[in-house]
Amino acid sequence: MAASDVKLLGASPSPYVNRVQIALNLKSIDFEFLEETFGAKSELLLKSNPIHKKIPVMIHNDKPICESLIIVQYIDEVWTSGPTILPSDPYDRAMARFWAAFVDDKWYPALKELRMAEGEEAKTAALEKLMEMMTLWEDAFAKCGKGKGFFGGECIGYLDIAFGSFLGWLRVTEEMGEIKLIDEAKTPGLAGWAERFCSHEAVKGVIPETEKLIELAKMFQARAKAQSQN
């Protein structure tokens, strides 16, 4: 597949964009990365994703595909020769989709809530909620991974990509809040998985360094504060 056939509209700090980068890397597909400027939306983005106006958008042979998880599934369906991303067993596939939806609907909003929480009471409540979810993840890892190294089993799969793409932002929350969310003692399965995931060839260099994300997080916080005072 020629490089010009696949374009990705995105921004490196976005975990949703990182999902698509990882899936394309896994399948060894060359693509052109079109970096969107933070706070501005290019004409191409508005034209390609007029409904949500969000990144990522993948343009394949001039046809836009939106929504990160839909793009990852599309990649798996189009490039069947590379490693398989979705589990082949229908039940395993259903579970991977269930937990991937949990990332977007419940877990990431809870992580964000903790990062933005102000005051001890709000922070403690948000942390408690998130720690309960981390226990659920430890259990889901054992069940989905069936004792192997990844949620997808021997290899990185759909749920690894869906959840793992948020590890950079998880570390930001840990460092800024001086807390531990993935812990050798409490969540040993996840701790080993996070290490393996981040050092995988398809992932290395995709998830930005924590320091860079912290700078961005501070900017978001300052902006949210300024907006709430206006």
Q: Contact positions toward ligand GSH, by CB under 6 A?
A: 14, 16, 53-56, 67-69
Least distance from C-beta 131 to ligand GSH, angstroms? 24
As a whole number of angstroms, the distance between CA 77 and CA 72 comes to 9
Nearer to ligand GSH, 83 or 220 (CB): 220
| Residue 14 vs 25, nearer CB to ligand GSH | 14
| For ligand GSH, the closer CB: 104 or 183 | 104
Indicate the DSSP class of residue 3. Answer: G
User: Are the CB atoms for 169 and 182 separated by under 8 Å?
Assistant: no
Whether residue 197 contacts residue 150, with contact meaning beta carbons closer than 8 Å, is answered with yes
Residue 147 beta carbon to ligand GSH: minimum distance, rounded to whole angstroms: 30
In the complex, least distance from residue 161 CB atom to ligand GSH, rounded to whole angstroms: 12
Do 38 and 77 form a contact (C-beta atoms < 8 A)? no
Cα separation, 211 vs 172, in Å, equals 8
3-state helix, strand, coil in the chain (%, to 5): 60, 10, 35
Q: Which residue is at the shortest CB distance from ligand GSH?
A: 54
Minimum CB separation of residue 50 from ligand GSH in Å reads: 13
Q: Which is nearer to ligand GSH, 53 or 143 (CB)?
A: 53
